Chains A and B, each alone.
Chain A
Amino acid sequence: MSKLLLKGGRVIDPSQAMDLVADVLIEDGKIAAVEKDIAAADAECRDVTGKIVCPGLVDIHCHLREPGLERKETIATGSRAAAAGGFTTVMPMPNTSPVADSPASIRYVRDRAEEAGVVRVYPIGAITKGSEGKELSEMSAMADAGAVAFSDDGRPVLSSRIMRLAMEYSHITGLPLIAHEEDLALVDDGDMNEGYVSTVLGLRGNPAAAEETMIARDIILVRLTGARLHIAHVSTAHGVEMIRGAKAEGLPVTAEVTPHHLTMTEEAVRGYDTNTKVNPPLRTAADVEALIEGLKEGVIDCVATDHAPHTVEDKVVEYHFAANGISGFETALPVLWTELVKEGRLSESELIDRMSCQPARIMGLPAGSLAVGHDADVTVIDPDTILAVDKNSFYSKGKNTPYHGRLLSGWPVMTIVGGRAVMENRVVKES
């Protein structure tokens, strides 16, 4: 099969503590060598001098919307958006229509992803049937069909009893449960973070306590059951504190944070731009600070986009009626590169670790490494060129972004999946 040689880039692979200028040789879809001055006359060659070559980005939390919500996104369009954003592996949430709560629906997602043939798609199955929080779904059968984790994302498992049972039952598969932490009674139909800004805007407040009480409950249930729990989209400072405590205690708890919760505050809601409406809501500057600190320390294990594409009609409405979510695949890397790396909050290596190695590790996925012999899933980043975000050029059907027009650097310029360049120079190739 083909050979591909990436010449002269700065190779950063946190999985091997590697950061050096070297060539990367890919052969038969695998990493064949990472060395200086590789001579391979028979290889297709790309000069990536001045660029960063790293393990392909992994997103463990996204919404591809298919089946049932194809007007927002399909597995094909979502896969292409992921590739455009530098992601080589993604994990779609099961809150489709119908909910992915059966082996057949897991197989459907995998088959559709196979047809799309762009990035690797590992589906997440529902914890409860229909994500209604009442009866456990067939998690074991879904695991056999290829589900890699379970979540009722979009809504919490409100019943403590059901959550306890799900945690106990999860020992059959050993797969993580991903918790969407939200006490709906405390949320009380809130539209944004509760605080001064919600007061001024007259929007209903969703207090940090609504998220934190559920994080506390689930950490306590992990102590009871020993289950492997991953906490989705942490957005509050006290949430970070509780996870720090759980880890110090040795509990099998991991957590993720989204690019928008790392870079935006509730102040963005002024003006009622519905592209800022997201769940959990954008919080305060102190929360953002704690999340960045938590991500740097490793209390928060990784970044996850929570890519949530919506139609224009879902968003061009009164704030209260607008759908929650941000189309995140195609801005995640440059947003964090610009706001965290360029600002000196994280090193290049730390960001790559949190967007590739760590998510792969905590979800047990065969990704996140450029070690010889591994699948050649590679992302090439242009660290310096500054471009404006243009939602109209998104591959995603969802143009719902609060970053439109923002000048960013750190754009992905090549995405390689299994040795094949699926995106080059910001263009996703027809498969």
Chain B
Amino acid sequence: MAIKTKDLIDLEFLSADEITEILETARPMKEVMRRDIKTVPALRGKTVATLFYENSTRTRLSFELAAKYLSAGTCNISSSASSVQKGESLQDTGRTLDAMGTDIIVIRHNMSGAAQLLGEAVKARVINGGDGTHAHPTQALLDMFTIIERKGKIEGQTVVILGDILHSRVARSNIWGLTKLGAHVRVCGPPTLMPKDIDKMGVEVFYDIDKALDGADVVNVLRIQMERQQKGLFPSIEEYAKNYAMTEERLNRAKKDVLIQHPGPMNRTIEIPSAVADSAQCSVEEQVTNGVACRMALMYLMSGGETLV
């Protein structure tokens, strides 16, 4: 089976079966990464372009390595090194990549809807590497893959997404993916960082972290941006940490086998103190590894999914 839609905009538009297939395909991909020679010919002769309008070393590198491990040619375009700065439109940039024969374009953009806009303009298949506060489907895939590795399955797990939900594309994509696969999702954060009517996405809303953590199997701790405080969305970093940091004390009160996730980069002085970040329950480094495997799986399935390994 392969991904049916041309573009991968968000997990919202995938079925539970499609998501499961990507996650299952990521498993052999992770095996490939453990080999001495980390390449398979699945995407030989194909070209993957990463088009990044936002700084992100981690995600760009992850996609680039995933493509290389699949034997694809890669190129990187970032906003500081292209015609983007000259005011070229997203569609024109995309069509230029199209004209040069790109097969897959991975886009990261600070505006919600940008991935869809690009997808509609180009023949290449587009993977959303994060658009504004809308979606970050590959992050959700790697978070879910990590949960399965640690917990065996998604179904029935109680997952808390903690922090700045309002501005989080990671939260939104995780909510779609996790709820489709049968997890109970709770979101927790200050009311000023909680988007309107999010309960209609099928999640429970908590403002009290201790209630949210009660009985949780997984806690996905989101990064808090300093600029949110500057814009008055909460009074101080200290008060935010007091109410919403995943502290050691809270970890000790949680289920013994609770899994702590973080999409990175971590603020060790705010939302995730080192004692928690470096604990055995925290999967931050595995998530990074799994990110490459999930992106390999996705690109493999998107380019036909036939000549594996």
Number of residue pairs A-B, CB distance < 8 angstroms: 67
**CB contact under 8 A between A318 and B197, given known A200-B12, A202-B134, A202-B172:** no
Chain B residues within 8 Å of A320, by CB: 111-113, 132
CB distance from B184 to the nearest CB of A (A): 19
CB-based contact A319/B197 at 8 Å: no
- The proximity string for A residues 198-218 relative to B, scoring 1 for CB distances below 8 Å and 0 otherwise, is 111111010100000000000
* Chain B positions 98-128 with a Cβ under 8 Å from a chain A Cβ: 109, 111-114, 116-117
CB-based contact A199/B116 at 8 Å: no
CB-based contact A202/B201 at 8 Å: no
Contact of A318 among B90, B133, B135, B201 (CB under 8 A): B90
Does B264 reach chain A (CB closer than 8 Å)?
no
CB-based contact A205/B91 at 8 Å: no
Q: Which A residues fall within an 8 A CB radius of B?
A: 194-196, 198-203, 205, 207, 271-272, 313, 316-321
Chain B residues with a Cβ closer than 8 Å to the other chain, count: 24
Contact of A195 among B89, B111, B116, B197 (CB under 8 A): B197
Chain A residues within 8 Å of B12, by CB: 200
Name the CB-closest residue of A to B198: A199
CB distance from A4 to the nearest CB of B (A): 48
Chain B residues within 8 Å of A313, by CB: 89
Does B186 reach chain A (CB closer than 8 Å)?
no
Does B196 reach chain A (CB closer than 8 Å)?
yes
Please give me the 9 A-B residue pairs with the lowest Cβ-Cβ distance, nearest first. Answer: A202-B134, A272-B113, A202-B133, A196-B197, A202-B112, A318-B111, A199-B195, A319-B113, A196-B200
Give 20 pairs: A residue, B residue, CB < 8 Å, sorted on A: A196-B197, A196-B198, A201-B112, A202-B112, A202-B132, A202-B134, A202-B135, A202-B169, A202-B172, A203-B112, A207-B196, A272-B116, A317-B89, A318-B90, A318-B113, A319-B111, A319-B112, A319-B117, A320-B112, A321-B111
Cα separation A319 to B196 with both chains bound (whole Å): 19
CB-based contact A200/B113 at 8 Å: no
Cα separation A201 to B196 with both chains bound (whole Å): 12
Chain B residues within 8 Å of A205, by CB: 195-196
CB-based contact B196/A272 at 8 Å: no
CB distance from B308 to the nearest CB of A (A): 33
Cα separation A318 to B117 with both chains bound (whole Å): 7
Chain B residues within 8 Å of A207, by CB: 196
CB-based contact A202/B131 at 8 Å: yes
CB distance from B232 to the nearest CB of A (A): 11
Name the CB-closest residue of A to B118: A318
Cα separation A250 to B172 with both chains bound (whole Å): 48
